[in-house]
Structure 1
Amino acid sequence: MLRWIIPIVLYILIDIYAFQAIKTISKNQFIHGVYVLSSLVILVLFMYAITSPEARTNPKMMYFFGVFLALFAPKLILVIAMFGEDVIRLFVGVFYKISGGSETSFMPSRRKFVSTLALGIAAIPFAGLLYGMIKGKYNYKVLQYTLEFDDLPSSFDGYTLTQISDIHSGSFDNPEKVKYAV
């Protein structure tokens, strides 16, 4: 458990930082509550998954891991974009302070446009991961071709060549779909 303290603290810090974009875009307390509650549920499930031996064998935990990635990857992208804005805000704030600007606040406020844009960009990997978990997980393509070569020895007649490429079936929770592909 001790080795997980740093990743958990990083997750919490990233989550708090990403929440700043939500607060900039919406002042609705319900939206804030849903964000905080979902983040807490994910954190509790993550801590359960890393501390409980039976959680590692539970197929439902694979879905949790997918949801965790689908929610965490966009937050990471969001935080990177917002950090870039914060660096710019810091330089602008320092410039105004040095130049004797009449600003009452040292730091300019966060731009709603940047937060909205960052959330829009972060939605792209969220949608992709969600699609991959739900629809694309077993979207196999089985292609059959008959190949004929003049110089192929007759001892190879009737053989089947199979190529399996880039199979991401997660927990193989649907054996019929896997049988179809393999």
Structure 2
Amino acid sequence: MRRTGFWWFVIVIFILVDVYFFQAVTTVMQGFSPSVKLAVTIIYWIIALAAWLALFAMPYLRSVQITKFYRNYIFSVLVGLFIAKLVGCVFFAADDIRRGIEWLVHLMSAKNTNRPEMAAIHRSVVMSWLGIGFGTTLLGTFIYGYRNKYNYQVKYVHLQFPNLPKAFKGFKIAQISDIHSGSFTNKAQVIKGVNLLMQQKADLVLFTGDLVNDRYEEMNNYIDVFNKIRAPFGVYSVLGNHDYGDYIAWPSLQAKEQNLENLKKVHASLGWRLLMNEHVIIEKNGDAIALIGIENWGAKGRFPKYGKMEQAYKGTEPYAFKILMSHDPSHWDAEVRPKYPDIDLMLAGHTHGMQFGVETMFFKFSPVQWMYKQWAGLYKEGNQYLYVNRGFGFIGYPGRVGILPEITIIELS
């Protein structure tokens, strides 16, 4: 019942934004011919009505295939439309504030005995065009971003550590994260991404969580793709928040637990060693480093803390160099740096860079930075490093704008 009420609230907000946005459309059509005005009005409200009906129908879709397509594409268009119109409404609201101030000034300056006739304070055509222009441009970038969801990029990182054992100088680690196989719709493109990873010839491959969106079956069609990932020193993995199936309704607790057990078997069938609050020792030419892998641990309240650092860390004390695999980057500031200052490098994912942002040599921005201090790329505090992978896959929005899918190659020296 509560969920239905929330959905109706979303639909009402969507309708209010549409009505408010259309006022600006009416403003810019003042000089248009009646036939053009009528055509624009009909097209606008047909699109708006279709969006409302789609929103209304969403909770009632039960087919797995329809739901997958719907969430990946139609829902993202709806969200894109809403955000684009919402951005436009910011301009319209600023103009309305200007109109309100002008009205108040006229009202306060009028004389009580001889009150002048107040002329209508019209909306600004310029501000209306700006709002529509910015909103349309934003929607266009969302649509354009569909083509980037498989546009895999290799990021090369060179890190120097004074305590790195000599045998590991030049050691290459490949990191991938957030595969989200339940979102894939083009297997051939995914194969290209895996081939690109293998072309890097890394010594060690590390996967930092979120293999699926919710269910282990989402990997059925991709086991024969990701089992091609191999490295001389092995492939290791950890779980992410989506891997536990916490975000869907299960018929029973047993069904949810069985899904997790089956997902663990998927990791094994891929040839990946899943680390569940434990560590392994990587040895090379008589030297050794510790690799620690924990279950998901998020500092944000809505993400469960399955990870047990104390359990995973115990026994690594004698090793001079330590790497931690932890899905959520908020773990770094919340627990790792304060309690484990001898963990040299932590690898995380989780944020996807929100799959939307701007990255240049001099500037990096994504709305996700308002939620996560460390959200993409390399960070350093004291002698400790954190690298946040931007994600191999995608979820929700089936595309990427500015923040592209990533394969990370870290060379140690």
Band the TM-score falls in, shorter-chain normalisation: 0.7 to 0.9
Higher helix share goes to which structure?
1
Q: 2:11 aligns with which of 8, 11, 18?
A: 8
Note the C-alpha offset of 1:3: 2.3
Q: 2:92 aligns with which of 63, 82, 88?
A: 82
Deviation by residue 1:126-163 (Cα, 9 ceiling, x = unmatched): 12211112x21211124789xxx993359x98xx6322
Structure 1 residue 179 corresponds to structure 2 residue 194: no
Q: Is the 8 A contact 1:78 1:118 kept in 2?
A: yes
2:128 alignment partner in structure 1? 115
In structure 1, what is the Cα distance between the partners aligned to 2:64 and 2:88?
30
For residue 140 of structure 2, what is the amino acid of its counterpart? A
In structure 2, what is the Cα distance between the partners aligned to 1:23 and 1:44?
24
Deviation by residue 1:62-111 (Cα, 9 ceiling, x = unmatched): 21012112211110111121111111101101211222243243xx1111
Q: Is the 8 A contact 1:14 1:79 kept in 2?
A: yes
Written as runs of structure 1 = structure 2, the 5 A alignment for 1:86-101 is: 86-100=96-110, 101=116
2:243 alignment partner in structure 1? none
In structure 1, what is the Cα distance between the partners aligned to 2:144 and 2:81?
13
Note the C-alpha offset of 1:114: 0.7
1:24 alignment partner in structure 2? 27
2:68 alignment partner in structure 1? 59
Structure 1 gap segments, 5+ residues each: none
Q: Is the 8 A contact 2:61 2:67 kept in 1?
A: no
TM-score by length of 1: 0.81
2:46 alignment partner in structure 1? 37
In structure 2, what is the Cα distance between the partners aligned to 1:169 and 1:102?
66
Superposition RMSD on alpha carbons, in Å? 2.9
Q: Which has the larger radius of gyration?
A: 2
1:47 alignment partner in structure 2? 56
In structure 2, what is the Cα distance between the partners aligned to 1:103 and 1:124?
37
In structure 2, what is the Cα distance between the partners aligned to 1:56 and 1:16?
33
Q: Is the 8 A contact 1:59 1:173 kept in 2?
A: no
For residue 173 of structure 1, what is the amino acid of its counterpart? T
In structure 2, what is the Cα distance between the partners aligned to 1:162 and 1:40?
47
Written as runs of structure 1 = structure 2, the 5 A alignment for 1:147-166 is: 151-152=166-167, 161-164=173-176
- Which sits farther off after the overlay, 31-40 or 59-68? 59-68
Q: 2:137 aligns with which of 103, 107, 124?
A: 124
Cα pair distance change 1:153/1:70, threshold 3 Å: closer
Note the C-alpha offset of 1:167: 6.3
Higher strand share goes to which structure?
2
In structure 2, what is the Cα distance between the partners aligned to 1:20 and 1:165?
44
For residue 54 of structure 1, what is the amino acid of its counterpart? S
Q: Is the 8 A contact 1:49 1:56 kept in 2?
A: no
In structure 1, what is the Cα distance between the partners aligned to 2:86 and 2:132?
11
Cα pair distance change 1:170/1:25, threshold 3 Å: farther
Structure 2 gap segments, 5+ residues each: 111-115, 158-163, 195-413
